[in-house]
Amino acid sequence: MFMMSLLVVELGPLVRGQPQVPCYFIFGDSIFDNGNNNGLLTMAKVNFPPYGIDFPDGPTGRFTNGRNMADIIAEKLGFKNYIPPFATASPQEVLTGVNYGSGGAGIRNETGKHLGGRISLNEQLLHHQVIISRIALLLGSKDLAREHLSKCIYTIGMGNNDYINNYLMPQFYPTSHLYTPQQYAAVLIHQYFKQIKTLYNQGARKVALFGIGLIGCIPAEVTMYGTNGSACVDWINNYVQLFNDKLVSLVDELNNDLTDAKFIYINSTGISSGDPSAIGLTVANAPCCDVSTNYGKGQCIPQRVPCSDRSTYVFWDAFHPTEIVNVVSATRAYSALSPTDAYPFDIRGLAQLSL
Ligand SMILES: *[C@@H]1O[C@H](CO)[C@@H](O)[C@H](O)[C@H]1NC(C)=O
Ligand SMILES: *[C@@H]1O[C@H](CO)[C@@H](O)[C@H](O)[C@H]1NC(C)=O
Ligand SMILES: *[C@@H]1O[C@H](CO)[C@@H](O)[C@H](O)[C@H]1NC(C)=O
């Protein structure tokens, strides 16, 4: 009898089709953006074909052919709908979460500035404050909002542009003259720490931090810097590693200091290393779509027909992975395939945690 009731309790949420957590909030860059840049004056927007060619709603502002990682994580968590972008979320739908992601955005305010408008992490946190007020109104009190917010999953994927659209563009940004790679990683982590602390003060208790990816391998960087015979621009990947190593230490520090919350690190570089052809991805050195060489450099040329065998390409455009790669990465972030995919555990573990 006891066993049976336990079973019912455990199956309950699945039977009723409830998500594992009541809400999912997303902070990030173009890897996560699902439409927040559409209304901005910026080169970093993609609400035109062939973007979205494999997405049910077509081009929505997602920087890929189909679903992005936020979409897949939302599916894994059991949400029936994708988490709406801050730009267009209706007041009623914010209870289940909001996506604040913005292409070109970074930890640093100025990151991506040469592209035009973008919503920096600092501004994304201000947007979150607006949503928190709305949630307090919907639930009837600040305490109930706080209770609700403590149960949500939060993912943050930031830092890629602080390299791609800042440190690695000395013609537009002074950071590479001001800081050595080691110093820059430290400066970024220091600012990121303060931003994560703000999110904690806003009530977040289950937070997954995505490490920066192997940006030395993206076609845009390979084209710009050359690889000297290697498959990737190795020195760029070494810079990123400095940041990621510090991020892992930050996760330890946060978990030691903020004991009523849990922070995890998603090992993006680890997940994407290894031979892509082992999972049918036979083209790793060229984008699937024809990319622009002037306005919106590295993004797909509007209206051009992309490659047809999209499940064999690692890269959709010169910066962003294809949907199939997003599926693999998000699935491993949610449910680790290798013990090193997530530290100290994966998003599924974070969702199941009772704090
Ligand atoms: C960065 O942006 C935030 C939010 O817009 C602003 O409050 C802050 O003063 C800015 N910081 C710097 C150093 O410009
Ligand atoms: C290019 O690779 C060669 C052989 O590995 C190495 O000796 C050389 O230092 C590299 N050059 C640059 C600019 O990294
Ligand atoms: C990330 O993955 C790589 C490759 O699997 C591994 O060497 C590294 O230790 C991992 N990092 C963490 C923090 O687990």
How would you write 179-215 as a 3-class SS string?
CCHHHHHHHHHHHHHHHHHHHHHCCCCEEEEECCCCH
CA distances from 343 to 199, 223, 318 (A): 20, 33, 29
Q: Is 199 part of a structural domain of the chain?
A: yes
Closest residue by CA, ligand 3 atom 4: 270
pLDDT of residue 167 exceeding 50: yes
Q: Residue 347: inside a domain, yes or no?
A: no
pTM of the model: 0.94
State yes or no: is 317 an active-site residue.
yes
Residue count (the chain)? 355
Domain membership flag for residue 99: yes
Residue 16 is predicted with a pLDDT of 55
Our answer on whether the CB atom of 340 is closer than 6 Å to any ligand 3 atom is yes
The CATH number covering residue 154 comes to 3.40.50
- The answer to whether residue 287 is domain-embedded is no
> Is residue 287 exposed (0-12), middle (13-18) or buried (19+ Cβ within 10 Å)?
buried
pLDDT (tens digit per residue) in 267-280: 999 999 989 999 99
Give the distance (Å) from ligand 3 centre to CA of residue 122: 29
Taking 70 as the threshold, does the pLDDT of residue 6 lie above it? no
pLDDT digits (tens, 9 = 90+) for 301-327: 999 999 999 999 999 999 999 999 999
Q: Is the pLDDT of residue 62 over 50?
A: yes
Burial of 355 (0-12, 13-18, 19+ CB in 10 A): exposed
102 is annotated as an active-site residue:
no
Residue 30 annotated in active site: yes
> How high is the pLDDT of residue 1?
37
pLDDT over threshold 50, residue 14: no
Residue nearest to atom 3 of ligand 1 (CA): 122
Domain region containing 125: 24-218+233-270+323-335
Outline where DSSP puts E strands in the chain. 24-28, 153-157, 206-210, 262-266, 283-287, 313-315, 342-343
Ligand 1 mutation pick, 109, 110, 166, max ligand atoms within 8 A of CB: 109
Catalytic member of 54, 120, 148, 320: 320
Structural domain tally of the chain?
A: 1
Does residue 186 belong to any structural domain of this protein? Answer: yes
Burial zone of 7 (CB within 10 Å; 0-12 exposed, 13-18 middle, 19+ buried) = exposed
- How buried is residue 175: exposed, middle or buried, by Cβ count under 10 Å (0-12/13-18/19+)? buried
Q: Is 302 a domain residue?
A: no
pLDDT digits (tens, 9 = 90+) for 82-139: 999 999 999 989 999 999 999 999 999 999 999 999 999 999 999 999 999 999 999 9
Instruction: Say yes or no to pLDDT of 13 above 90.
Output: no
Closest Cα to atom 13, ligand 1: which residue?
Answer: 109
312 in a structural domain:
no
CA–CA distance, 120 with 172 (Å, rounded to integer): 17
Residue minimizing CA distance to atom 1 of ligand 3 = 270
Does 349 reside within a domain? Answer: no
